[in-house]
Amino acid sequence: MSGKSTTKRPWRKELKKQQRKRRRRKEAVARDLRLEEEEAHNLKDPAYQQLLQQQVQLEEEQKRAAEKRHAEEEEIWLRRDLLAQREFRLKQQQRTALEAAEVAKRIKQAEELAAKEAEQRRRHEEHEKSKAAAAAEFEQMMECMENFLNNDGPPPAELRRVVESRPNQNLCILYERTNCCRYGAPCVNNHRRPLLSNIIVVRHFFMHPLLEVEQHKEYANADGSLELSEQDLREAYEDFFEDVLPELEEFGYILNFRAVRNVLRHMRGHVFVEYVDERSALKAFIKLQRRYYAGRQLNVEFSCIKSWRSAICGM
Ligand SMILES: [Zn+2]
């Protein structure tokens, strides 16, 4: 300690503090003693004893009630916890099921795609194969035709064959009669076509506006009269006939020259040429195949027409 305060009789202050402390202790001891005496005195009183007992009972009841409440609360909490756990498991199961379904869907899609691709590949290969087979057959046929043309004697057996589009189906009556069918190659019935004949058919050879519209309205004037007449058609046909006949006659003697006077798309302008023999027809077939006339590539086939009357409607 230093300074003036230390010189101001500190012991006196300390003494007073000690005195206060002693007094308080003494008072406390006296109070405790008094309380003990009071308690001892009260304990001798039956009413006080009963009060104490009641107090103890009350405390015990309160304690039991608190324990019961606590137990109930705990049970509620446990149930809630169980419910939450069950809900979580359910959600997890649903999620797993959804994921499994998604995986299954993807696998199925991949399988379908693979099957589709395999089918496409198979079709492509089949197409290529049949294309190659057709090309080989064509080469062989052309060779047979060349041999037949360059040698005397009857045609070889290969050229006597009849090509059938659907061998196991019914004959297409229309094709048999006219060598034309509105369904063309996709027709469900069987189209028979000879590989050699003395008659050739040149498809869509003679074309004319009057043959190109099924109803001639487009060529009608306001009053309904036709701008192009049958006379025009006849003159055009005569011009066409004079134009093509000389070349066709170079291949051999012609017995019949007929054009289909029919506006139906699948028959329009077909020209049938009947030669005196198969060699002449074959020469025409080879020379005209894929040639162009009036801007259109010619398509020539051998025909098996048996009756002109049933095949062609005039002209
Ligand atoms: Zn048909």
**142-172 pLDDT, tens per residue?**
888 888 998 888 888 888 889 899 999 999 9
Would 166 be classed as within a structural domain? yes
| Shared-domain flag, residues 165 and 228 | yes
Torsion of CA 100, 106, 111, 114, to 10 degrees: -160
| Shared-domain flag, residues 102 and 168 | no
Ligand 1 centroid distance, CA of 265 (Å) = 14
| Mean per-residue pLDDT of the chain | 87
CATH number at 290 reads 3.30.70.330
Question: Which residues form the domain of 238?
Answer: 161-311
Q: What digits encode the pLDDT tens for the residues 189-208?
A: 999 999 999 999 998 898 88
Q: Which two tokens stand for residue 96?
A: 């797993």
Q: 217 falls in which pLDDT band (50, 70, 90)?
A: very low
Would 281 be classed as within a structural domain? yes
Which of these three, 87, 115, 133, is where a domain ends?
133
CA distance 104 to 110: 10
| Shared-domain flag, residues 175 and 285 | yes
* Partners of 190 in the β-ladder: 171
Would 95 be classed as within a structural domain? yes
Which of these three, 133, 151, 184, is where a domain ends?
133
- Report, as an integer, the average pLDDT of 38-58: 90
Ligand 1 centroid distance, CA of 170 (Å) = 10
| Shared-domain flag, residues 167 and 282 | yes
Residue 130 pLDDT > 80, yes or no?
A: yes
Q: 315 falls in which pLDDT band (50, 70, 90)?
A: very low
- Number of helices (H), then strands (E), in the chain: 7, 8
| Shared-domain flag, residues 71 and 194 | no
> Residue 314's pLDDT is what?
39
Ligand 1 centroid distance, CA of 176 (Å) = 9
> Residue 8's pLDDT is what?
65
Ligand 1 centroid distance, CA of 305 (Å) = 15
Count: domains in the chain: 2
Q: What digits encode the pLDDT tens for the residues 171-187?
A: 998 888 888 888 888 89
Which of these three, 133, 149, 181, is where a domain ends?
133
